[in-house]
Amino acid sequence: MKICFIGNSHAGAIRRGLELVDDSLKDGIDITFFAYGGRGFSRVYAEGEALVTDNSSLREGLRFTSGGLESIVPSEYDIIVIYGLGFYSYFPFDASRYSDAVLQNSCLDSFSNSLAGHLYREVSKTFLTNSIKKILACSTPFPAKSENHSKEEIERHFDRSSECYSNALRRIGCDFFYQPLQTLSGVECTKESFSKGSLKLATGDENDDLPHDISDKSHMNEVFGKYWIEHFLKKLGSN
């Protein structure tokens, strides 16, 4: 199975995590990463069947992270994973205050108005024939901190929000993949241990693999990445 994994700086942890995953789990899986930090992917657009960019720095980043490719041809893959890119799966804790229509629109807006939404639209444009591929939207990990929520509250919120995001994104032909429940320390926060010692995404510049600032709680480490990708591959296998 060929997987195209497109993401921003948060994809660094996943890429490192993949190296730690047992080979048996990766058997038959071929993942190509295309990653670039910040809002770089806003300079990517569809041209025929490919996603291209007119930005030389981004093009270099794509080439570096993918191992030599300067453009992305989504139709060459079985699954397109859009990871992070400003997409956060925030969901109201007091969801009962809102109608289902409002909640679904808020989920859809969160995705559509992010860089991930832009990329999704551009990817969709490249499907010129009927070869519609599976597109998976994966939200950015919640910041690492601790919150006073009970296990039951976290689980209830997780179930409700993942269901709502899944339903909302399905309306536009996209699947949703939530941050694994076991990585959460609160309804919208990641266990603090997962952000300790996180390293910067390597894109071929002088910042490659440098540690994130100690105050950075938004980027995760390779342990998180390993956990995430294992969870992802198992889900993929079960589907």
Partner 1 sequence: MNPYRALGEYKFWRSAIANKSIFNIENIWLPKFSIKPRTRISTYGSCFAQHIARHFRERGYKWVNREPAPKTLSDESKRRFSYEIFSSRSGNIYTTSYLYQLLRYAFQLETPPELLWEKGDRFYDPLRPSIEPDGFLSKEELLRSREVFLSSFRESVVDCDVFVFTLGLTESWFDVSGFEYPICPGTVAGEFDQDRHLFKNQGYNSVKRSLVDSIKLMREHNPRLKFLLTVSPVPLTATMSGHHVLPATTYSKSTLRAVAGDLAESRRYVDYFPSYELISSAHTRGIFYDTNARTVVPNGVSFVMDKFFECLGPVDRKGTHAPPRVSATDDVLCDEEILDSFSTSERP
Q: Which residues bind partner 1 (CB under 8 A)?
A: 88, 90-92, 96-103, 105-107, 109-110, 112-113
Q: Say which residues have a Cβ less than 8 Å from residue 108's Cβ, sequence separation at least 6.
A: 168, 169, 171, 172
First to last CA, the chain: 13
Residue 113 beta carbon to partner 1: minimum distance, rounded to whole angstroms: 6
Distance CA 11, CA 17 (A): 10
Nearer to partner 1, 96 or 148 (CB): 96
Residue 93 beta carbon to partner 1: minimum distance, rounded to whole angstroms: 10
Nearer to partner 1, 90 or 127 (CB): 90
Residue 134 beta carbon to partner 1: minimum distance, rounded to whole angstroms: 24
Nearer to partner 1, 172 or 199 (CB): 172
Residue 110 beta carbon to partner 1: minimum distance, rounded to whole angstroms: 4
Nearer to partner 1, 51 or 168 (CB): 168
Distance CA 172, CA 155 (A): 26
Nearer to partner 1, 105 or 193 (CB): 105
Distance CA 136, CA 132 (A): 12
Residue 90 beta carbon to partner 1: minimum distance, rounded to whole angstroms: 5
